[in-house]
Amino acid sequence: MLMSTVRQIGFVVAIACIGLHQARAQGTTGLSNYPHSSLFETNSVLEENSAGATSLASASRPSATSSTTAMSPNDLRASSARPALMRSQSLYVDSSSLFDEFTALFAFDGSKQPQDFGVNANAGMQGSANWGLPLLPNLGIGMQLGTNYTATENAVRVYELLGETTTRHQSFTTIGFFQRLENGFAWGGVYDFLFEDSYDDFALGQWRVRGSYRFSSQREVGVTANLRSNSDSGVWGAATPVTLKSINQGSLYYRRFWNTGAQTTVWGGLADRHSEDNVVTGRSPAQNDVFLFGADVLMPLNSNWAIYGEANMITPFDTGTVDAFLGVQWYPTARSFAARRGWFSPLLSTASPVSFAVDLFQ
């Protein structure tokens, strides 16, 4: 577990340092060759008029550079040779650096799930990274890589009084592929792997798939499905055998890109049955398909930093899930105002307790 944590921290630090060095070497935010570079150089944002067209509006904040580098003839020729990157500029944003779609998150995390055996909740911290990369640029196909480490302590004393562990460590890895089309449609999928050190050691997996449609520069709708993969068995306490598995989920979402640069997403849907077993009161009938809902919020503070948080609830609250995190997200190439607007922005967030709900059954 320690080596896994060290590798994750090393990965985040190394990639972040490379990205920051590249941005500084360019002397700009890394977008001087993009025709709409003023969107990021002045922290201005896209506005949408009544006819649905988009325009740039300055937010009256000082430029990160004293002047904007003009595009040379070579830059123009290179630009015209990348048709997949320059399509539908009102919908997606081009990028000039390999690290433009890299982010690092540091957040407070709270979680209660069926795997807590009906008597526990967890609170602590998480750190994660997410990176979107072009794979076949001319087709709009990219890949995403992500890692998350969440360390929490028990928020109630029942485990401690029963002689069980008081901490939980979770290591998530996310890898997948996606495609964005010039008509606003996008699709993709990732595989999430979870290694958990709690009352026992568990290795779990799930698939997440998403299809979306961005029908303007400021509005997007889509559907997301979480599908369980491998489960794992262990022992709670001295001799109580249990099996953990992810919970299947399906939801519809709506995302709004606001003129201030903020973004909000809300979703609702259904979750598969989950256990209501309780370590104190014993076994109970499982809950059948239930309603779920959630939201995320992203609010840029400046070009490099934004507040970001997610929450997901599976009803009923007493036996379902209550998961949320809130923290600050770092953009090493100063693209917080372009978050999730790029051709190769990760289609899905890195796995965390919010997006990886775990059930327990005996």
Instruction: Give the three-state DSSP class for 226.
Output: strand
Q: Is the pTM of this model over 0.85?
A: no
User: β-strands 54-57, 290-300: how paired?
Assistant: unpaired
Tokens 């830059």 belong to 75
Is 60 exceeded by the pLDDT of residue 33? Answer: no
Query: pLDDT tens digits for 234-262?
Result: 999 999 999 999 999 999 999 999 999 99
Is 34's pLDDT higher than 90?
no
Beta-bridge mates of residue 153: 123, 167
Candidate from 59-63, 185-189, 263-267, 287-291 with smallest mean pLDDT: 59-63
The three-state secondary structure class of 314 is strand
- Find the range with the poorest average confidence among 11-15, 96-100, 124-128, 271-275: 11-15
Q: What is the mean pLDDT of residues 279-308?
A: 96
Query: Tokens 């792997």 sit at which residue?
Result: 193
Q: How far is Cα 308 from Cα 328, in angstroms, rounded to an integer? A: 6
Average pLDDT, the chain: 83
Higher pLDDT, 218 or 16: 218
CA angle 187, 265, 37 (to 5 degrees): 75
What is the pLDDT averaged over residues 166-188?
97
Q: Of 63-77, 112-126, 317-331, where does mean pLDDT reach its minimum?
A: 63-77
As a whole number, mean pLDDT of residues 90-111 equals 93
- The CATH number fitting domain 2-15+98-361, selected from 1.10.760.10, 2.40.30.40, 2.40.160.40, 1.10.357.10: 2.40.160.40
